[in-house]
Amino acid sequence: MKNFLKRANRGLILGAIVLVGFVAFVIADTTAFKKNKPQIETAVTDYLDALSECAVTSQSREEFQKKADRLLADYWCTGNNGSNSDYYFFNITNYRDELETAAKEIYSEKGKNEKITKWNAKPSNFSITKAGTGYAKVAFTCNITAEFIGDPYLITPCEIWRISDFLYRESDSDEKVLSQFSLEIDYELNMKQTDGTWKVYSAESWGWCEPTITVLDETAEGGNE
């Protein structure tokens, strides 16, 4: 009986030590994540700023490709947090494919009179939650405005569609009319900490409001050189 009690006591002590260690790890991990939240939000805003480099139509496909490659290298990565919740999200491969598809048409004969002349994104209402060690889920609302001619591709943090696709109708835009597109949309980015830097590994959008189109100049000239 004494031996049994000794073994039982050792088991309880070891169990208590493991529990205390686990609780300490959870507290430390949670505290570290809270300190990372400002860095994560900054990483998202930096990503949106970098998007404007690609979103405004470049003079050549080669110039666009360099910007797209830099965007993917600096702000995207591969990975997941071991769950299946990312199935419907865009990953780096999907996003690269979207960029390549857009480039083919932007710099084709058909697309020479279509372009984005200005692009801006204003994020708000950030919600940052932990999604595993070294992983985060970032939800935010984003107001995207762009000045454009024709029916160009609009690059966003997730989808890359023609302006008319966001409106769910055939394009009726005049290629010489400078207009402004405005859209408020919610995004969710799954992010991974890589070598101390937070990068996007998947993205999803939902619940956007009806976009608005405003004519700015009916005599604008389109064209990509």
Let me know how long the chain is: 225
Rounded Cα–Cα distance for residues 7 and 3 (Å):
6
pLDDT at 25 over 60: no
Rounded Cα–Cα distance for residues 90 and 204 (Å):
6
User: pLDDT class for 35, splitting at 50, 70, 90?
Assistant: confident
Element (H, E) at 65: helix 61-75
Encode pLDDT of 108-122 as tens digits.
988 888 999 999 999
Q: What is the mean pLDDT of the chain?
A: 83
Q: 40 near 198, Cβ under 8 Å?
A: yes
pLDDT at 22: 47
pLDDT at 46 over 80: yes
User: pLDDT class for 85, splitting at 50, 70, 90?
Assistant: low
Angle at 40 between CA 67 and CA 101, to 5 degrees: 30
User: pLDDT class for 5, splitting at 50, 70, 90?
Assistant: very low
Determine the distance from the C-alpha atom of residue 103 to the mean position of all C-alpha atoms in its chain, rounded to a whole number: 19
pLDDT at 88 over 70: no
Encode pLDDT of 159-197 as tens digits.
899 999 988 766 555 567 899 999 999 999 999 999 989
Contacts 24+ apart (CB under 8 A), 214-221: 214/179, 214/180, 214/182, 215/177, 215/178, 215/179, 216/147, 216/178, 216/179, 216/180, 217/177, 217/178, 218/174, 218/176, 218/177, 218/178, 219/176, 220/149, 220/176, 220/177, 220/178, 221/149, 221/176
User: pLDDT class for 15, splitting at 50, 70, 90?
Assistant: low
Q: 182 near 212, Cβ under 8 Å?
A: yes
pLDDT at 11 over 90: no
User: pLDDT class for 43, splitting at 50, 70, 90?
Assistant: very high
Residue 101 contacts by C-beta under 8 Å, 6 or more apart in sequence? 160
pTM, full prediction? 0.80
Q: Output DSSP code: residue 88.
A: T
Residue 224 amino acid letter: N
Q: 219 near 176, Cβ under 8 Å?
A: yes
